[in-house]
Structure 1
Amino acid sequence: MALLQLIDTVPVPFRSAPISQEEGAALFRATLALFSRWGVTDEQAAVLTDMPVRTYRRWKAEGPGRMSRDGMARLSNLMGIHKALRIIFQEPQRGYDWVKASNAAFEGDSALQVMLGGELTDIMRVRRYLDAERGGW
C-alpha cells in the first residue's frame, strides 16, 4: 500500500529574483544556437540583443561579458518564443521556419521582421502572440 505525503499548499510570496550573470551566460549560449536554427545573421542578432555587431561577434566567439537586465530580458523572451513554437509545432523545423514566414497577424510581416524593430517590446509582442496562440498567458 502506497503512503501518501502531505504537500504544503500554502502559496509562497512572490520574490522577484534577477537572473544571475551565470544564468544570463547560459541564456546567451542557448540563444546563439537558436539564432543558428532561425538563420539569423550577426547583424540581425545584434539588433535582437541590442548590442553593436562587433560586441555581439566578440561575445559569440569568447563568451558573453556582463549583461544588463534589459539584455537578459531580451534573451529570456527569445527563449519564450522558442518554447511556444516547440509547443505549437510538432516538427521543430516548422517552428524555425515560422519565424521568417509572412504572417497576417503581423500585417504580412514575419515575426523576425517585427522583432527587428529593435525594441524589447517588439520581441515581447511576438511572444505574447505565440503565448495566446498556444493557450498560455
Structure 2
Amino acid sequence: MPQLQLIEKTAHQPTVPEISDAESEAMARAVVNLFTKWSLSDAQATILLGGLSPRTWARWKTGSVGRVPRDLKARLSNLMGIHKALRIIFTDAKRGYKWISQNNNTFGGTSALDIMLAGELTDIMRVRRYLDSVRGG
C-alpha cells in the first residue's frame, strides 16, 4: 500500500490584494454619497450593504464607519466598480445616476437597482460585470 507524503504548509497568497481598513473606510464614505445621488432610501442602502443595521448605516452617514468585515468590503468594492463604470459610460454624471433605477431590457425589463436589491453579493457583481462589458473593461 502506498504511503501518504506530508506536504509542507505554505502561506496563502491572495490573487487580489486585500482591501485595507483605510481603503474600506474611504469606500464607505463614498458609498454614502453615491447612495444619495442614486436617491436610495435607508432601507435600500442597508440591503445593498448586506443587511447592515439601520443604526450602523446612520453612523456611516455621520462619518463614523468603524470596522468593516471582509464581505462588506467586497460589496463596497463592487459598488465602487459600478460607479466607476457608469462614470465612464455616461459623460453626463446625472444620466449615470438615473440609469441605476431605470428599467433595462438587459435585466428583463427591471432596473439594475432591482437586481441588486435581491440582496446577494452576486446580484451586485452581475450588474458590475454587465457594466464592465459595456465599457470594454
Which residue of 2 is the match for residue 91 of structure 1? Answer: 92
Post-superposition offset of 1:53:
1.7
1:10 is matched with which residue?
A: none
Q: Within 1, Cα distance between the matches of 2:123 and 2:64?
A: 25
- The RMSD of aligned alpha carbons is 1.5
1:131 alignment partner in structure 2: 132
Query: What is the match of residue 119 of structure 2?
Result: 118
Match of 1:47 in 2: 47
- Deviation of residue 16 (structure 1)? 3.5
Equivalences, count: 124
Alignment match, 1:71: 72
Corresponding position of 2:6: none
> What's 1:32 paired with?
32
Measure, in 2, the Cα distance between the counterparts of 1:126 and 1:19. Answer: 21
- Which letter does structure 2 place at the counterpart of 1:122? D
- The aligned counterpart of 2:20 is 20
Q: What is the identity, as a one-letter code, of the residue corresponding to 1:39?
A: S
Unaligned runs of 5+ residues in structure 1 are 1-13
Displacement after TM superposition at 1:62 (Å): 4.5
> Partners in 2 of 1:126 and 1:105 — Cα distance?
10
Change (3 A) 1:108 1:27: same
User: Can you give the 5+ residue segments of structure 2 that lack an aligned partner in the other structure?
Assistant: 1-13
User: Normalization by structure 2: what TM-score?
Assistant: 0.85
The match for 2:103 is 102
Letter of the structure 1 residue corresponding to residue 44 of structure 2: Q
Q: Distance in 2 between matches of 1:111 and 1:30?
A: 19
TM-fit CA distance, 1:58: 2.2
Q: What TM-score, normalized to structure 1?
A: 0.85
Change over 3 Å in CA distance of 1:61–1:102 after alignment to 2 = same
- Partners in 2 of 1:130 and 1:36 — Cα distance? 20
Conservation of the 8 A alpha-carbon contact between 2:35 and 2:45: yes
The one-letter amino acid paired with 1:111 is A
Residue 17 of structure 1 and its aligned partner are, at CA, apart by 2.6
